[in-house]
Structures are given as structure tokens and as C-alpha cells.
Amino acid sequence: MSAPDSAGPELLLGIDVGTASSKGVLVTLGGEIVRSHVMPHGLSNPHPGHYEQDADAVWWHDVQTICRELLSGEYSGENVVGVALSAIGPCLLPLDEAGKPLRPGILYGLDARAGQQIASIEAEIGAAQIIEFSQMALSSQAVGPKIRWLREHEPDVWTKTCTLTSASGYLTYRLTGRHILNRHEASHFMPLYNPGTGAWDARYERHVGPVSLLPQLGWSDELAGTVTQEAAALTGLRFGTPVAVGAVDALSEALSVGVSRPGDLMIMYGSTTFFILVQDAPTPSESLWSVGGAYAGQFNLAAGMSTTGNLTGWFQQELAPGRTYAELFAAAAAVPAGADGLLLLPYFSGERTPINDPQARGVVAGLTLAHTQAHLFRAVLEGVGYGVRHNLETFTALGSKLRRVVAVGGGAQTDTWLQIVSDIAGVAQDVPRTTIGASYGDAFLAGLAAGKVQREDLDTWVKPEHTIQPDESRRALYNDQFELYKQLYSQTKSLVHQLASRS
């Protein structure tokens, strides 16, 4: 392995491939960002409830392009001493014998195609037995039912499949030539992963698919391998550069804001909203996700809402064309708490935790001719806030202790939304100074895998900016509204499911 250019700084490269865009950063060993690049990309929705992305045309294309962009000019691959990648997940991507994708990647819990397979697996194994073994229930987030869906619905693809991996696993493979997957995502390949042993387990494979098709397992901060000659030629990275096992995007996002100790909870306000609580022991749950952590010996209790940033984007495009986000948020801030009697369920793409209902749909209740666009947008923001509170109350009902809550993601760029969430949920939210996203956490993982930084260095990388405190004067109102929010779902559930079956 050749050494980095002695004339330039040693840098760490982190790249995250998200739902709507990819981002890469070059970071010094002290945590200073010296270059960054963002690439937007699309999302395929070929059938209702089906969400996919092309592994080469989107995921790998973005990684190559970002590498070439960041490593042109002042810095080159010779400066990079470690690389880590993260991506949306858990996804499902079948590869052939040559390691080439056989179809577009099937996305995480946003994709709800495997409802029938969930029912079949539960009927064959037993829902209680699955929870006892996997420490969580099957949901649209689970990859096992999607493997079975692939086997049942695309037999031509299935017969050619030699490897089943996820988005981050595929990208690490393209860099290193090794099939390896982090244990956080592997936990969602249920019921093929044994959280007690941290290894694949064949006891239920006849209900899903053979574990022989699954990658090697590793922790996110471990070394996956080094950059191959082929990958070096395509990306501009130096042959032999260390590459970390990497992570799902939400886990890297948590690290990017210093969420690394038991009791730390990240709320990631992105296209969807994701929650990661760091624990030193697993918490079995029927409604949340009990998964492996970033480091050996750590666990996460995780959760996710299906439609949050996507919902504000839909609102702007369909109901407020020509208005900027800044204008919409300013108008919503001027509307009283409670949106003058409007209440919205944000289940526009079904919902993940804690209700785990792919047939749920958006509902707006209380409309009058006096309500305005600003009222509706305020109701959208509050609807997401009620969903956040629903998840946080589920965490605490399981006995979890929340030492601190850290907000990150695009939605954390505006204090208006964060204030609404804090008021509804009754929690303070720390907002870090640097919220560039998962790619920053990836850079830290790259440093760990390459032996260039230590875990405690994260405290110097991440600095707090300010804290959003809940407004106690709104507590009583939002407590009442939250109870109505839960009732609105339970009392419209049957009707909404009938409507969903017609879409």
C-alpha cells in the first residue's frame, strides 16, 4: 500500500446515499470538513407500495461521481487514509454469480410489498416465536419477507441469485470486492439473524431463503477491506485505501451528531423520520426495532415514520406551488398551536412504528372554510410532531431511559418545526453546530476502521449549537390534541383500509 502524499493533509472520506440525494465529505482527522458535494437522485415507484432504486445507475454512480468531484483539484486520492459508506436501508438487492444486480434494489420500510409474506411467515412460525427469537416483530422494515416475496414473485431472478445484500453492503463490495454487511442492518434480515449470537441462523431459512446467500457480518467501525485496483480506477481513490464496514444511513447520522453513548437518542428529520436510541443491552419489542449498534457490544432500539419530509415536499409541490419553504414555515409559525381545530394523520405512505400499518393513509379532520393554506401546513408539521411523540412514548413505555435527544436532518434546519415537536412531545432537543448528515458520521467510521481516530475523539468532532426547550404553556392543549390524534387513527382505521385496498 502506498502512503498518502506527505505534502498534503491526511483526510477521511465519508459518502452517504440517501433516499433523495447522496452526499460526500472530506474531513480532517480533527473533524474539520474541507470539501463536500451533494447529488440529487430519483426514486422509482413502479406499483403502489413498491419503492425501488437502481443499484448501479443511482447508488454506485453517485459514489463514483462524488469521489471524482471531491478528489479533483486541491485534494486527491493520495490524501485519503480511510473511507466509509452508508446508504438507505435495510434494502434488498439480489446479485448474480458475478456480483451484478439482477433487479433494482427494494427499499426499506417505505416499501410495503411483502404484507402477504409477513402474514404467511407469522402463520408458519408463530408471531410470538418470531418476537422471542428476533426480539422484534415482522413489519415492512423486515427484509426476510421481501426475500420470500422475491422468491415467490420473481422466480427467474431468484434462480440466478447468488448473493442477497443491502445498499451499503453493495457499495462496500464495489469498493473492496468483499460481501460484508453491518449487524445493524443484518438485524432486519429477520428471521435469518440471531441477535443472541450476532450471526446468521438457518433455523427458519425454509420460510424465507438460504442463509448461504447472505454476506459476511461485521461491526460498522471494523475494516471491511481495501480499495481494489478496479475501484481505484473508477473513483480516483488510492489502491489499498482502508474501507470500513459502514452502516445504514440513520446509524451514521446518529454518529454524526455525537449519539454514541447509552441513553442518547437521535431523531433524524429527513424524507422519513428515523429514531435511534443507543443501549448497552437489547430491548425486545413488538412495535419498535431492536437491532445491533455501531460498535461491538452496543445495541440500538430504533423506530421510523414513513412520511415526514416527503410530506412537506408533497405539500409544497401540490398545494403551494411557487411558495418557498421559508414562506410556508413562517406562515405556519403565525398560526396558533392546534391549527385552529385541524388535525392530520401523516400516514401518506402507510406507517411504520409504532402502529406498523402499511395500509394506513393520511387523514385531515376538522376542516372549515375559515382554514387557510397556513393552517394546513401547520397541521402537517403538528401531525409529524404527534407521530414523534407516539414513538417517544413507546420508547419510554418499554423502560428505555432517554438521557438526551439530538435533532438532525433537513427538518432540523428550521427551529419552527423543532419547536412544534418539542412542545408536543415535551422534550428538549439538542441541535449540533454541524448537521451535514450521515456522510460526516461515515468519515468518523472511516477513521476508526483505519486506526486514525479513537471513539472518544467524537466529542471533539461534534459541538452543540443550541437547545430547543418545550413551551410549557402549550402542554395542556397538545396533550388533548395527542389523545384525539390516537383516536382519529383508531376510529378511521377500518374505513381507511377499505380505501387503501382500492388504490
Taking the C-alpha atoms of residue 279 and residue 281, their distance in angstroms, rounded to an integer, is 5
Whether 91 and 105 have beta carbons less than 8 Å apart is answered as yes
Cell numbers for 50, please give them: 413498491
Residue 388's H or E segment, with its range, is helix 373-397
Taking the C-alpha atoms of residue 156 and residue 154, their distance in angstroms, rounded to an integer, is 6
Instruction: Supply the pLDDT for residue 5.
Output: 47
Q: Indicate the angle between helix axes 115-125 and 127-134, nearest 10 degrees.
A: 90
User: Which CATH architecture does the domain made up of 258-433+471-503 adopt?
Assistant: 2-Layer Sandwich (3.30)
User: What are the φ/ψ torsions at residue 15 (nearest 5 degrees)?
Assistant: -130, 130
CATH superfamily of the 11-249 domain: ATPase, nucleotide binding domain (3.30.420.40)
* DSSP code at position 353: T
Question: How crowded is residue 292: how many other Cβ atoms within 10 Å of its Cβ?
Answer: 25
Taking the C-alpha atoms of residue 47 and residue 224, their distance in angstroms, rounded to an integer, is 35
Q: What is the DSSP string of 35-46?
A: EEEEEE---B-S
Taking the C-alpha atoms of residue 236 and residue 438, their distance in angstroms, rounded to an integer, is 22
Whether 257 and 408 have beta carbons less than 8 Å apart is answered as yes
Instruction: Supply the pLDDT for residue 7.
Output: 63
Q: Band of the pLDDT at 437, cuts 50, 70, 90?
A: confident
Q: Is residue 12 helix, strand or coil?
A: strand
Residue 199's H or E segment, with its range, is strand 199-200
Q: Is residue 214 helix, strand or coil?
A: coil
Cell numbers for 360, please give them: 394506513
Q: Rounded mean pLDDT of the chain?
A: 95
Q: Band of the pLDDT at 3, cuts 50, 70, 90?
A: very low
Per residue, the 3-state secondary structure of 103-138, as one string, reads CCEECCCCCCCCHHHHHHHHHHHCHHHHHHHHCECC
In terms of pLDDT, which residue wins out, 271 or 485?
A: 485
Domains 11-249 and 258-433+471-503 share a fold: yes
Q: Band of the pLDDT at 261, cuts 50, 70, 90?
A: very high
* DSSP code at position 206: G
Asked if residue 243 has pLDDT above 80, the reply is yes
Instruction: Supply the pLDDT for residue 73.
Output: 87
b or e along 358-389 (b: 16 or more beta carbons within 10 Å of the residue's beta carbon)? Answer: bbbbbbeebeeeebeebbbbbbbbbbbbbbbb
pLDDT single digits (tens) 111-170: 999 999 999 999 999 999 999 999 999 999 999 999 999 999 999 999 999 999 999 999
Instruction: Supply the pLDDT for residue 1.
Output: 44
Handedness of CA 43, 270, 283, 252 (dihedral sign): positive
Instruction: Supply the pLDDT for residue 496.
Output: 97
* Percent with pLDDT over 70 in the chain: 99
In this prediction, residues 377-404 reach a mean pLDDT of 97
Instruction: Supply the pLDDT for residue 152.
Output: 98
The domain segmentation of the chain, as residue ranges, is 11-249, 258-433+471-503
Asked if residue 241 has pLDDT above 70, the reply is yes
In this prediction, residues 257-284 reach a mean pLDDT of 94
